[in-house]
Structure 1
Amino acid sequence: MFARVGDRLMVRSTHVGGPIRDGEILEVRHGDGSPPYLVRWSDTGHEALVFPGPDAEVQHFDHHVS
C-alpha cells in the first residue's frame, strides 16, 4: 500500500451492504508511502493513527507542487 498526504483512505465494511468509511490522509510516516497513516475520518472528524488492513484501499489524487 502506498499513499501521500491528501490522498483518501477508503475502508470497506466487514458486513454485507455496510457503509464505506473514508478519511483524509494527513501524515505519512515513511518515505516510501507505506503505513501507518494519520487519518482524519470524514464521518466524525476524529484523527487516528491507522494501520490499514486488507479491507482498505487508497484513493490517489493528483498532487501539484506550486
Structure 2
Amino acid sequence: MRAHTGDALLVRGHHVGDHDRQAVIIEVHGSDGAPPYLVRWEDGHESVFFPSSDAFVERMPQREKTD
C-alpha cells in the first residue's frame, strides 16, 4: 500500500451492521509512501494506523502551490 499526505483512507466494517470508518492521512511515516500513517478520523481524533486488507487508500488530487 502506498499513500500520500492528504489521501483518504477507508476501512470497511468487519461485521453486519458495522459502519465503514474514514480518515485523512496527515503524515506518512514509512519510506516511499508505505505505512504506518498518522491519520485523522472523522470524529477528530488522530492515531498511528497500520492498514490491513480491509483498508483502502483513495488518492486525492494534489493541490498546486501558489506563490
Structure with greater helix share of residues: 2
Query: In structure 1, what is the Cα distance between the partners aligned to 2:12 and 2:59?
Result: 16
Q: Summarize the Cα distance change of 1:64–1:31 in structure 2 as closer, same or farther, 3 Å threshold.
A: farther
Unaligned runs of 5+ in 2: none
Q: Does 1:39 align with 2:39?
A: yes
RMSD between aligned residues: 1.1
**TM-score normalised by the chain length of structure 1:** 0.90
Query: In structure 2, what is the Cα distance between the partners aligned to 1:5 and 1:65?
Result: 14
Q: Who is 2:5 aligned against?
A: 5
State the Cα distance separating 1:17 from its structure 2 match.
4.0
2:22 is aligned with what amino acid? D
Identity %: 48
User: Number of residues paired by the alignment?
Assistant: 65
Q: How does 1:11-30 map to 2 (within 5 A)?
A: 11-30=11-30
Larger Rg: 2
State the Cα distance separating 1:30 from its structure 2 match.
2.4
State the Cα distance separating 1:31 from its structure 2 match.
3.5
Q: Where has structure 1 moved over 4 Å in runs of 4 or more?
A: none
Unaligned runs of 5+ in 1: none
